[in-house]
Amino acid sequence: MMKPARFHEKVRYRLRTFPEEVRRAAGKAILELQKGEILVFPLARPMPLVAPGVEELRFKDRSGIFRVFYLARLAEAVIVFHAFVKKTQTTPQHEIELGRIRLKEMLNG
């Protein structure tokens, strides 16, 4: 059985700003997560700084580096709660904090 994907409302908007090729790759990866597949590096990487169990999808094309935070370990859904364009080697602290806030909103709301 396939788990539903639940998106933070701001993630849907942000994903629409990503290049088409990146959007397609993100959609395919999220579908695989819904089917219960475990994604591994370099496509996915754990992000314990955000919260336990959180991972990020990693995409790169000629226009930039793109990240999507998700939580797939819940039985009832894949939670996709933050997406951003990465401009530095390390993930900026404000993106981590925003991810924490949005994950809490989705888990508590």
Question: Structural domains in the chain?
Answer: 5-108 (3.30.2310)
pLDDT of residue 14: 95
Q: Which of 33, 55, 46 is nearest to 103 (CA)?
A: 55
* Structure token pair of residue 89: 């080697």
Q: How confident is the model at residue 37 (pLDDT cuts 50, 70, 90)?
A: very high
Do the beta carbons of residue 49 and residue 96 sit within 8 Å? yes
Range 31-45 average pLDDT: 96
Whether the pLDDT of residue 81 is over 90: the answer is: yes
Whether the pLDDT of residue 90 is over 80: the answer is: yes
pLDDT of residue 55: 97
Q: pTM of the full predicted structure? A: 0.94
